[in-house]
Chains A and B, each alone.
Chain A
Amino acid sequence: MTQQRKAVALISGGLDSLLAARVVQEQGVHVEGINFFTGFCVEGHTHAIRKKDRAKPKRNNALWVAEQLGMKLHIIDIIEEYKQVLFNPKHGYGANLNPCLDCKIFMVKKAHEWIRDNGFDFIITGEVIGQRPMSQRKDTMPVVANESGADDLLLRPLCARNLPETLPEREGWVDREQLFDFSGRTRKPQMALAEKFGFEDYAQPAGGCCFLTDAQYSQKLADLWQARGEKSYEMDDIMLLKVGRHLRPSPDYKLIISREEGEGNFMQGYRNQYLSLKTISHPGPLALIDGKVSEQDLQLAARILARYSKGKTADSVEVEIREKDATTRCIKVAPLGPLDVKPEWIL
């Protein structure tokens, strides 16, 4: 009896990885999914925080894909290891702080380690030549295979016929003729294949699954590194970059001001780690202060916060200052005028 081969598919939750895994399943291969969590994944986070998004149906698309395919999904926390990828990407950043090529190499390398540890035969990705400007080009496809160490154990079923044969094809574990030759940025072939397989409710559009591709998020991360004098972050830092409006009136500190109730509730959980401000004479947002502040800085921070409160036109607003140890005191300030919040403060 022929041995059933086993493959692990990198599952992002998007259409391409869904189709790639399904194409290989169709050939009788046992496929399980692997999903890497870097901390920058868009999946789930923001809609879990903002109150206005809480009513939206929530689903983790990688889990949804696995369920559609009837396969196991292994979600791997790579938050710590990923820091070195982001701090020193050998192949550089994309338009923002997105190290896409290094990221792909790293994930395939981790998948390669995983198949060795778990007795699987090869790796599947949903990559398509020309689909992404940085990591999915004809010239970068071999770079991913080589530098990850996966070499010809890496099969890209959606564009395999545009690439040299891999081991699974040469050994007859999969039939190359039943793989595809997709290329370019068009999504039509994928959509047609999805229709053929009966997939309708897949995540749209492709990409956009990482906060590092977002210009504003990257700007805030770069500011964080500059303020600290080094490239470093903890999970709480990258979570807080996703919420509130960020203003840096001085190189020494920045304010994170909640924009709505859900963000305020989320930020409450950080009050033992950051000095915080809250308007008490008028309804208003919560602010966390990241950095070191003088009494003069606190006055300005309170005036900025008052600007974003219901008391913005009042002569005076009372603001509670809460230390990390929960001791509090109050100050009265005049809210900043509409033109006094300098555009260069806003990150």
Chain B
Amino acid sequence: MSRIVLDCRRMLCPMPVIKVQNQAANMAPGDELEAICTDPGALNDIPAWSRINGHEVLETRTQGDEYIVVVRVGEDAGS
């Protein structure tokens, strides 16, 4: 299992979602992705994207001016 940190700072949605989506497509089920964002919309959009595409959100948190979402890649990540 691997864990990748994605720097999505200064990106506005949906770019953080696209970055997470494209990275997840190249990861194996069970791998984890940590997206560090500055657009608060990511706190809604990445979980929404994860729900509809079969991934699991492990954590969402606000850290100062940054918003962090941790996703575990689902079974059909590449599809």
Contact = CB atoms under 8 A, between A and B. Distances in A.
Same complex origin of A and B: yes
Contacts, number: 68
Contacts of A75: 14, 17-18, 21, 49
B13 interface: yes
Contact of B51 (A43, A67, A239): A67
Nearest to A265: B65
A138 interface: no
Interface string A65-82: 011001111111100000
B48 A67 contact: yes
B12 interface: yes
Contact of A37 (B10, B14, B40, B44): B14
Interface string B5-35: 0000010111101100100000000000000
Size category, B interface: 10 to 19
Contacts of B21: 74-75
Contacts of A239: 12
Interface in A19-49: 35, 37, 41, 43-45, 47-49
Given A45-B12, A63-B52, 5 more contacts: A44-B14, A59-B48, A60-B48, A63-B17, A72-B52
A60 B52 CA distance: 13
A58 B44 contact: yes
Nearest to A235: B15
Interface in B32-63: 39-41, 44-45, 48-49, 51-54
Nearest to A236: B10
Contacts of A76: 18
